[in-house]
Amino acid sequence: MAEASPASTGFSVLDEKLGWFFKRGRNFLVVGAPMSGKKLFSRRFLYQGLLQDEAGVLTCASNSAEKEKQSFAELGMDTSKFEEEGLLVYVDFYSKTVGLPCSESSYIKYVSSLMDLPGYNVIIRDLTTQFWRREKPLRLVFDSISTLLLYNEVKTVVRFLHVLFGRLRSVGAISLILVEEGSHPAEAMASLASIADGILETKAEEGKYYLRARSELGGLEWTAYHV
């Protein structure tokens, strides 16, 4: 696969200031309080890739795949074409865990429970191989790792992410891993940050969304972006 350009976020002001930040093969934590914009930012980031003929994987740990599909529509993003083409796949941790009816399809894959991390890794291995063969750059959003930490020990989740990040880097994928601000001890956050390539922070104030980026290569102070 030819080397791809840095990934566009779908928000012009962020692309202008962070065009160098979202390089392929990098994995980011997205940290913010509820309703701080991290869900909107991550979905727009994923959708932007689809519009550019890339592939997307949305890992659902806090909602069902069907609910997430509906959420895209509510945000004004029509994903049906990309689902039919096999370019957008939902990996659903949530539904079987809470006992919802599950009907697997070409674009929805179910994990048996929020503790079945090996099962998730098998699904991701197959999907990354599939997209690599199709020569499709990949974006992955995981919403959220905080839900995973309710069911698994911190060390288990860190090891899981270490393996996941390694696989995503090997195929030049870029990922956003959502984390609920203030929900975890400082030690847990430090462990998660130690294996990520950077941290994005989100907040909402007076009806506006803001994002801050940090990494060893540099970053961006709080910047407003428009929906």
pLDDT tens, residue by residue, 72-123: 999 999 999 999 999 999 999 999 999 998 888 999 999 999 999 999 999 9
Task: Tell me if the domain spanning 12-225 has CATH number 3.20.20.370.
Answer: no
pLDDT of residue 215: 93
pLDDT of residue 1: 45
pLDDT band at 164 (very low <50, low <70, confident <90, very high): very high
pLDDT of residue 2: 42
Within 13 Å, how many C-alpha atoms sit on residue 49's CB side?
28
Long-range pairs for 103-112 at CB < 8 Å and ≥24 separation?
107/83, 108/65, 108/66, 110/65
Sign for the CA dihedral angle at 194, 198, 200, 201 comes to: positive
Collect all residues with Cβ–Cβ distance below 8 Å to 108 and sequence separation of at least 6. 65, 66, 89, 90, 92
* Bridge partners, residue 58, by sequence: 90, 141
Percent of the chain with pLDDT over 90: 88
> Helix axis angle, 65-74 relative to 38-51, nearest 10°?
80
pLDDT of residue 5: 66
pLDDT band at 6 (very low <50, low <70, confident <90, very high): confident
Residue among 193, 218, 223, 159 nearest 31 (CA): 193
Assessment of whether the complete model's pTM goes beyond 0.75: yes
pLDDT of residue 4: 53
Percent of the chain with pLDDT over 70: 98
CB-neighbour burial class of residue 206 (10 A; exposed 0-12, middle 13-18, buried 19+): exposed
Mean pLDDT of the chain: 94
